Amino acid sequence: MPEAGARTPISGCVITFQEADRIADCLRSLAFCDEVVVVDSGSSDGTTELAAGLGARVVVNRPFPGHREQKQFAIEQARHDWVFCLDADERCTPALQARVHELAAAGFAAGAYEMPRQNHYLGRIQRHGLFVPDRKVRLFDRRRARWGGRNPHDHVEVAAGTTLERLPEAIEHLSYRDFAHHLRTIDSFTRIAAAALAAEGRRANVFDLLVRPPAVFVKSFLLKLGLLDGRRGFVVATMAAYTDWLKYWRLWRTPRGGAA
């Protein structure tokens, strides 16, 4: 616990690549932090200049080592042990900013905090479906948690015995710029995911190709009530199923020790 009247300092951490159109709003939402660290992997669109102009400390780390590795590198560059991590397409909502400020003033009773994401898709916030409530750990003591998971789907791994508290206040997530961006992301992420699975010795089978994708659709559209989001709910469920199929199709076609 900090001394009376003291507030635990926080470092905001963001990784970027070609995010000139989105980085400013992201960094402004982290203005409550005592510093903001931006780790860039070689942007040429002015991302780093914009970030520096908004007061962030910019570190270039390239070539890009992977999402998990880059995010871990970012928190290691922070001056403070408490970090709040965002992607460039995310914003800390005013309600969450206020809550984090209160927690810091009280000295953080837990070692890590999880919050939901409000995912925007095709112009609206998703209320149902596979990615609701989409809770993520983004505020934590780096001495008791670190970035882990399998690329490109990184997540924060909290050390055993560390208290994890769930907050109701949300992060705003502007998932994709448009539908074409969604398709490009699927293409990129399924290549990375298939390669990561292959590196672990995983092989695809008929079950992966024929059962998993329909199951993802049913879970998103029916079990998690994506149908209540209408057309958007159907598109989200369909694209999630397609993503799963493409990942395993690329894994199926990957020779042992090869690239998808």
Q: For every residue of 119-139, which 3-state class applies, written as one string? A: EEECCEECCCCCCCCCCEEEE
Token representation of residue 21: 């159109």
Number of domains in the chain: 2
d(CA 217, CA 234): 9
For the residues 4-11, what does the mean pLDDT come to?
Answer: 82
For the residues 212-228, what does the mean pLDDT come to?
Answer: 97
- Which CATH number does the domain housing residue 149 bear? 3.90.550.10
Task: Average the pLDDT over each of 4-18, 75-89, 182-196 and give the range with the smallest value.
Answer: 4-18
Q: Are residues 156 and 189 both part of a single domain?
A: no
Average pLDDT, the chain: 95
> Range of 198's domain?
179-253
Residue 3: inside a domain = no
Q: Are residues 76 and 153 both part of a single domain?
A: yes
Residue 115: inside a domain = yes
Residue with more model confidence, 254 or 2: 254
Residue 142: inside a domain = yes
Question: Three-state SS for 246?
Answer: helix
The confidence band for 258, taking pLDDT boundaries of 50, 70 and 90, is low
Residue 26: inside a domain = yes
For the residues 191-218, what does the mean pLDDT come to?
Answer: 96
What φ, ψ does residue 130 adopt, rounded to 5°?
A: -60, -35
Residue type for 87, please? D
The confidence band for 232, taking pLDDT boundaries of 50, 70 and 90, is very high
Q: Are residues 66 and 161 both part of a single domain?
A: yes
Q: Are residues 247 and 207 both part of a single domain?
A: yes
Residue 259: inside a domain = no
Q: What angle do CA 216, 192, 135 make, to 5 degrees?
A: 50
Q: Are residues 133 and 220 both part of a single domain?
A: no
Is the per-residue pLDDT at 260 higher than 70? Answer: no
Residue 1: inside a domain = no
Q: Are residues 188 and 76 both part of a single domain?
A: no
Residue 4: inside a domain = no
Tallying the residues shown for the chain, one arrives at 260
Q: Are residues 135 and 224 both part of a single domain?
A: no
pLDDT in tens, 39-70: 999 999 999 999 999 999 999 999 999 999 99
Do residues 155 and 149 make contact, with C-beta atoms less than 8 angstroms apart? yes
> How many percent of the chain have pLDDT more than 90?
94
Q: Are residues 23 and 115 both part of a single domain?
A: yes
d(CA 98, CA 130): 28
Residue 260: inside a domain = no
pLDDT in tens, 93-125: 999 999 999 999 999 999 999 999 999 998 899
Q: Quick one: pLDDT at residue 255?
A: 83
Q: Are residues 143 and 228 both part of a single domain?
A: no
Domain end: 151, 174, 197, which one? 174
For the residues 191-210, what does the mean pLDDT come to?
Answer: 96
pTM: 0.90
Q: Are residues 20 and 148 both part of a single domain?
A: yes
Task: Average the pLDDT over each of 1-15, 161-175, 191-205, 218-232 and give the range with the smallest value.
Answer: 1-15
Domain end: 119, 140, 174, which one? 174
Q: Are residues 118 and 187 both part of a single domain?
A: no
Q: Are residues 214 and 195 both part of a single domain?
A: yes
pLDDT in tens, 165-200: 999 999 999 989 999 999 999 999 999 999 999 999
Domain end: 139, 174, 209, which one? 174
CB half-sphere exposure, 138, CA atoms < 13 A: 26
